Amino acid sequence: MKKQLEQIQQDAIAALNAADSPAALEELRVRLLGKKGDLTAVLKQMGKLSPEERPVMGQLANTVRANIEQVLEARKTEINALVLEKKLADEAIDVTIPGNEVKMGHEHPMNQVLQEIKDLFVGLGYQIVDGPEIELASYNFTKLNIEEGHPSRDRSDTFYFTDDDSVLLRTQTSPMQIRVMEHAKPPICILAPGRVYRKDEADATHSPMFHQIEGLVVDEHITMGDLKGALVTLMKSLYGEDAVMRFRPHHFPFTEPSCEMDMQCHKCHGTGEVNGQVCSTCHGEGWIELLGAGMVHTEVLCGCGIDPEKYSGFAFGMGLERMAMRRTRINDLRLIFENDVRFLNQF
């Protein structure tokens, strides 16, 4: 029996030293020390021994068990350390590997042009103001001298929120003229860019949502010469010193006199023809319409509590998309709204 015990100890220690994983170690523990293990099997034979031998063997069995347990513990510590080491090595981060490139966004050509226009007007002393896109019909129309029944108030052109047509998506930035004049005293000098909405089908030149930039200057002795000066300065700064503009008489209910400003077509230089064909950029017109403008109507000034005997003012409203398209030579409005980065990255 002594031999048997010594053999068990020897085999156990060899097996423990050969084990290389926590699972293998656990399996060994059960096989060596468990109820159905080798050591228990030997101890079960103790009954067959003589009373003198029994304590001696009992002692030896305990020693063997203690030795095995000791080696098991030591091996467990070793294996756990190895496992941890391997895990750390496997999960190590190689900080020298180049990272994934972070793709930066790109400023939209519309914002680039808007920024340029704002910078110019701020330099001329204008203040940038912002106003609501959900507007009252009284601001969008009535206070701008646009009477009930005017075609632009029609439900087929304007998005209304209420059955009584009193709340709508603004169709122009001109209500900002009223919002400013109702509260500020002249001198007034503001620029109000923003979104506007009209029931247009989307095509190459129309979208139900687009952007306008409204300008308003009210002070003593303001004339159409001031209006022309501001707009020509803007156009030359955007399109170059040789840009050619023309002002045409027009009609708006809230300005008097009113005009529209066109820019000579850059493609056909005003001839309306390219290589004997009708110019595709201006459709043979030779000119491209850029904005509406005029002297603020006396009715509108009075309605806002500004004395037209003392003060006069000019206002203009331009389409930002059109300005941006001219500036960047984009020929289809839809490209501006699609936000395809492959397209935007070109600017």
Task: Catalog residues that contact ligand PHE under the rule CB under 6 A.
Answer: 172, 174, 252, 255, 258, 292-294, 315-317
Nearest approach in angstroms of CB 247 to ligand PHE is: 12
Nearest approach in angstroms of CB 338 to ligand PHE is: 24
Nearest approach in angstroms of CB 292 to ligand PHE is: 3
Whether 238 and 116 have beta carbons less than 8 Å apart is answered as yes
Residue number with CB closer to ligand PHE (258 or 264): 258
Nearest approach in angstroms of CB 255 to ligand PHE is: 5
Nearest approach in angstroms of CB 208 to ligand PHE is: 15
Residue number with CB closer to ligand PHE (77 or 152): 152
Residue number with CB closer to ligand PHE (29 or 170): 170
Write the CB contacts of 83 (distance below 8 Å, at least 6 apart in sequence): 21, 22
Nearest approach in angstroms of CB 291 to ligand PHE is: 7
Residue number with CB closer to ligand PHE (19 or 315): 315
Residue number with CB closer to ligand PHE (38 or 262): 262
Residue number with CB closer to ligand PHE (255 or 312): 255
Residue closest to ligand PHE when measured from CB atoms: 317
